[in-house]
Structure 1
Amino acid sequence: MVVVAPLSSWPWENLGSLKCLLYGPLLANGFYSLYQDGNILQNWCLHILLLSLLRMGIHVAWSSYSNMLFLTRNRRIIQQGVDFKQIDMEWEWDNFLILQSLMASMMVYLFPWLGNLPLWKTKGLITILILHVGIAEPLFYVFHRFFHTHYLFTHYHSLHHSSPVPQSFTAGNATFLEHLAWSLVIGAPILGTSLLGYGSTIMIFCYVLVFDFLRCLGLSNVEIVPHRLFEAVPILRYLLYTPTYHTLHRTEKETNFCLFMPLFDAIGNTVHKNSWELHKEMSSKAGKNGKVPDFVFLAHVVDITSSMHAPFVSRFFASRPFVTKLSLIPLWPITFIVMLVMWGRSKPFLYSFYNLRDWLHQTWVVPRFGFQYFLPFAREGINNHIEEAILRADKLGVKVISLAALNKNEALNGGGTLFVEKHPNLRVRVVHGNTLTAAVILNEIPKDAKEVFLTGATSKLGRAIALYLCRRKVRVLMLTLATERFEKIQKEAPTECQSYLVQVTKYQAARNCKTWIVGKWITPREQSWAPSGTHFHQFVVPPILAFRRDCTYGDLAAMQLPNDVQGLGYCEYTMSRGVVHACHAGGVVHHLEGWTHHEVGALDVDRIDLVWEAALKHGLKPVSSK
């Protein structure tokens, strides 16, 4: 039995998302008072709720900024990704907002006059600043050092330090006892100013919001304070801490204890000796290229709704497989406006990264949505974006760049052939990853299958799948109206296997076949021709609708990344954690194997088994056997 230290867990820990109901009495009282009095300026319940929402917004905004890698990659202090473990650990980060809202309510009940503060008093801002320096800063410093003693650190404060990469949400990742202490720190100047007769509603809002802003600044892991500011006015380095300064406390725990003012570390002789030098170094790196990735996956946005499934929108949402939620609908207009802005963007942007065996793997995103790939007038512009990304990767020294589904569309650029032929001296290897995609699909098909129905049969993948299966003496019903293309594929098969490739022109031909491989989007009506018990394998983007309840539907071809992946904290579209599309995994294998050829255009059927074995050798796993 595990014994939990007193006051280390939260009283509402078992409520989950229902903890929001704790705001219920405040909301009810606020609206009732508004109905009774009609005076919103004196409605302290609604003020507390509004303040909580604004504080939440500050933390979310800082998290979004920290994860906008296309803006912050060269300013990051700890060059490590936020992984799933940290995200899950910080899931209940907002507990302290509930606690402080309840404490504020209790204070108003104990001191009713706090609910009748004036809207504004100029002296209040000056007073609370003095009390912050004289009370909050030293109080936090003492409490913080106290929490670093052995017993308190082990049972209470170690949770806060367990987040390897500081983020704004890390501020809330602490025990109940800690936040009781921090609530005293933030509450003392407010109560003191009010008792002196200088309290006001705006003063409370300003102080609390600035307090949270500076707290998030220190935990942002992004250095934005210019070192030239401290060189111009040296005393400022003792009046305002920096993200670098606070990060040193997290890595070397016996230094830099202050709240916002290093002055108190100087008084307590706990300033880290490298604080200013490291800050200057980090600040000077801004605008310079960071570490060059070894591998790049060039992705694209599927649709407007799924574009919200990004770490810089919500890392919590991005850490779960994408599903369309009603809560996303209000954000649709904003996302649409962003889409219009992105339309004019000329360069792919850095989306996320992870480390695999000391190699940096990055995901770049072409700023285009899925439907745009099917607009004839947009094709040239999209190819220019992809070409820009390939040339940029080549210039940086990237070893392999892998193209996501629509970025290697045959009609768009011949599966990447366009770029390799246009730039024959590329050092970066361009990979469409379809060989591993084919291998994943083929290894999902039952070994005893005698017949399959294949749509998208004359595509790159369809061709390779058909040729591979006919060699296994599996009859392949290839749905296509293009007789010439079918005959060309049939002639590629060994003579003794050509009879296993059969051209069909209607879905009715597959009414007795229970293994469908879908490479072209099919409607519910077309699915209705499949017999009961059919399994739909698929390599079509977007995936087909799961219309038939008497049939089963496979996911898009994907593989689980090796167990030694570090810093991965987002799900790739609808994939589970740690699972990536097969074309992404194919690029990873190409890089891990050190292959020096481009993988573009038509698939080499003879390499399917080779690539599959290489993937398994490097620790990638079929999703079905995770």
Structure 2
Amino acid sequence: MASEKDCSVSCRNEASLFSWPWENLGTLKCLLYAPLVANALYAIYRGEIKNEAWCLHILILFGARGLVHQLWGSYSSMLFLNRNRRIDQKGLEFKQIDAEWHWDNFLILQFIAASFLCLSLPLSDFPIFDSRGFLWCLILHIGISEPLYYWLHRLLHSPAFFQHYHWLHHSSRVLHPFTAGHATFLEHLLLCVVVGIPTLGTIYIGYGSISLMYGYLLAFDFLQCLAHCNVEVFPSNLFDNFPLLKHIIRTPTYHSLHHTDMVTNFCLFMPFYDSLWKTTNAQSWELQREISSRKKSRVADFVFLAHVVDVISALHSPFVFRSFSSMPFTIKPFLFPMWPFTYLVMLVMWAKAKTFLFSLYYLRGKLHETWIVPRFGFQYFLPFATKGINNQIEDAILKADRLGVKVISLAALNKNESLNGGGTLFTTKHPNLRVRVVHGNTLTAAVILHEIPNDVDEVFLTGATSKLGRAIALYLARRKVKVLMLTLSAERFNKIQKEAPLDCQKHLVQVTKYQAAQHCKTWIIGKWTTPREQYWAPSGTHFHQFVVPPIIPFRRDCTYGKLAAMRLPDDVEGLGSCEYTMGRGVVHACHAGGVVHFLEGWKHHEVGAINVDQIDIVWEAALIHGLKPL
């Protein structure tokens, strides 16, 4: 079967009813909803909505069905809630997310079918509720839809149908609620029949109701998402106390076994039919017991401790919209209506939230995780918030130490010099830490320095006395490059200048105004620079930067570099979200610096001031381990 998953594109093109009729429309497929929306709005305008109530019911119902999938998708991605009960420990990858991008095609198909059916059904005459309808719907589902789906599913696993159709559904490596809808046009036509028998059958018997339409379809989607969520939500003692439930409920574990052993567990929602026709996987309930009772998951070898930048960027989390998080972050109009709710969540997080697991990936077979400190960027600059932030960072470090994590790398503001001395606060307070604390700025400096062309003989440096600014200035001075260091503190400048070799000290020059760099075309920005200050740069200047957040690209006659970053090695697995504005597979240099520290097995903490002598060593180590400059 494994080879059948990798069918050629020609098989896909030759198979009739494989592709969706609106496949070439892309996101414009949403226009297929437009006629019904227009009809509903026109009816409201004319005051005749009672006669056209079916339009509103269909729109509300299918909006609710999409919401069911989205909520299950969010839960499935909340690693901080369900990591111990995940069935497949691997993370979702970009390839699968792209393949399932149009998971909602089946909703459009059923929406169109429902619209045509409602034109011939007297929906306005339906009662709100009829208990007899629910009973008949259940009978039709159990007696007809369940066995029909079972045999259709087995038919789809026959060589001919699997090779031309069903391989697509099984191409998803890690189950996700959106995987439930990831199938071909033909398969969803068949599913329409399965869904239609209980609903239409009940209507034609004479017991149809509006609540039946909502209840059956929403319950159907709910159970489909539950089976594909990759999280075991049922306690094993439930089936010990009520053994009959083993024949009634398809658990996530039960369905996941169908994707690993494709000749077993074919049922829709009721394992009874697998038992009846002897296709139950023998491991179904033992594996369910093992996963549901799991107390601990695999311990990460490396942790990157990140933080949220702002309220809008918080919506880039994988558990909000996985498609959006799989692309580099940009501000989109659909985010703004969600801002008030996100702000309220921020206040709750600010008051009481703990560090939580954000995402994971595997490198060289080792688990690498990203944890998030629930603090927003602006909070790091509030004097009264300093203690609370440091407490949360300290708690994360101590937790990593207890778990047995080998390296924890601090992101951006979590290692701010004014906050905790670049991490020295924690290593000084806890001298016996087994976990290595790393700020990763040595590699950040290396990335910035290797972006500067070798023929550059003069640079202008802001944030010159910061941790990174100091290292960059001293390194460039050794290369005989003149460094115009913007700082008002002669004392701090003199201290850095004295660290340089005697024959290199003349290359470090203190300046106090931006005007001093009006003839220098290489600017390195380590401190926020306003558009007015950028005005002093000559035309053709390139702005390198290590300031968070990045400066606004104000000058059209100049070029702007991005924050220092590196591409992860090619053998990374399970990576399915982008790190803020970085591209796919790209991480901030401080994150990459922690990865290198772990891969090299270095036993020292990398905190406080940057060791300039280590810059080239860390850079070479990064290249050896397969990390690539952009």
| TM-score bracket relative to the smaller structure | over 0.9
What is the match of residue 279 of structure 1? 288
Shift of 1:119: 2.0
Q: Is the 8 A contact 1:95 1:172 kept in 2?
A: yes
Amino acid at match of 1:537: H
Aligned to 1:11: 21
2:154 equivalent among 139, 145, 148: 145
Bigger shift: residues 40-49 or 565-574: 40-49
Q: Show CA shifts across 1:171-216 (max 9, x none).
A: 1110000000011101111010000000011111000000000000
Structure 2 counterparts to residues 208-287 of structure 1, below 5 A: 208-285=217-294
> How far did residue 42 of structure 1 move?
5.7
The CA deviation string for residues 96-144 of structure 1, in whole angstroms up to 9 with x for no partner, is 00000111122223x3335642222121111111111011111110111
- What does residue 51 of structure 1 align with? 61
User: Contact 2:74/2:319 (CA < 8 Å) preserved in 1?
Assistant: yes
User: What SS does the aligned partner of 2:172 have?
Assistant: coil
Residue 494 of structure 1 pairs with residue 463 of structure 2: no
2:135 aligned residue: 126
Q: Which residue of 2 aligns with 1:436?
A: 443
Counterpart of 2:313 (choices 274, 299, 306) is: 306
Task: Check the 8 A contact 1:469/1:475 in 2, yes or no.
Answer: yes
Q: Which of 496, 503, 506 does residue 510 from structure 2 map onto?
A: 503
Report SS of the residue matched to 1:130.
helix
1:345–1:367 Cα contact (<8 Å) kept: no
Distance 1:226 1:515 in 2: 62
> 1: distance between equivalents of 2:36 and 2:344?
35
Amino acid at match of 2:326: S
Q: Does the 8 Å CA contact 1:108/1:115 hold for their aligned counterparts?
A: no
Q: 1:618 is matched with which residue?
A: 625
State the one-letter code of the partner of 2:160. Answer: Y
**Separation of aligned partners in 2, 1:314 and 1:500:** 50
Amino acid at match of 1:135: I
1:343-422 to 2 correspondence within 5 Å? Answer: 343-422=350-429
Give the match's secondary structure for 1:556: coil
Q: Once the 2 structures are TM-superposed, how far is the Cα of residue 40 of structure 1 from its aligned partner?
A: 4.2
Unaligned runs of 5+ in 2: 1-8
Out of 125, 132, 145, the position equivalent to 1:136 is 145
Deviation at 1:227, TM superposition (A): 1.1
Distance 1:209 1:366 in 2: 36
Counterpart position of 2:6: none
CA pair 202-37 structure 1, distance change in 2 beyond 3 A = farther
Question: Identity across aligned pairs (percent)?
Answer: 66
2:122 is matched with which residue: 100, 113, 116? 113
- What does 1:455-534 align with in structure 2 at a 5 Å threshold? 455-534=462-541
Give 1:226 deviation, angstroms: 1.2
2 CA distance for matches of 1:193 and 1:588? 59
**Distance apart, 1:43 and its partner CA:** 1.4
Which residue does the alignment assign to 1:426? Answer: 433
Superposed CA offset, 1:601-624 (max 9, x none): 00100000000000000000001x
Separation (CA, whole Å) in 2 of partners of 1:115 and 1:25: 20
Residue pair 1:34, 1:43 contacting (<8 A) in 2 also: no
What CA distance in whole angstroms lies between the structure 2 residues aligned with 1:299 and 1:40?
Answer: 53
Q: Tell me the distance in 1 between the aligned counterparts of 2:50 and 2:252.
A: 38
The answer (yes or no) to whether the contact 1:42–1:117 under 8 Å persists in 2 is no
2:71 equivalent to 1:61? yes
Deviation at 1:37, TM superposition (A): 5.5
User: How much has 1:379 moved relative to structure 2?
Assistant: 0.2
Whether the 8 Å CA contact 2:169–2:182 is kept in 1: the answer is yes
Structure 2 Cα separation of the partners of residues 42 and 26 of structure 1 = 10
TM-fit CA distance, 1:45:
1.7
Could you tell me the TM-score, scaled by structure 1's length?
Answer: 0.98
Equivalent positions of 1:90-109 (< 5 A) are 90-109=100-119
Structure-2-length-normalised TM-score: 0.97
- Give the number of aligned pairs: 620
CA distance in 1, matches of 2:599, 2:413: 24
Distance 1:553 1:562 in 2: 26
In structure 1, C-alpha distance between the alignment counterparts of 2:337 and 2:91, rounded to whole Å: 30
Q: CA deviation at 1:31?
A: 2.7
Match of 1:581 in 2: 588
Q: Is the 8 A contact 1:42 1:116 kept in 2?
A: no
Give the CA RMSD over aligned residues. 1.1
Give deviations 1:439-495, integer Å, cap 9, x for gaps. Answer: 000000010000000000000100000000000000000000010110011011010
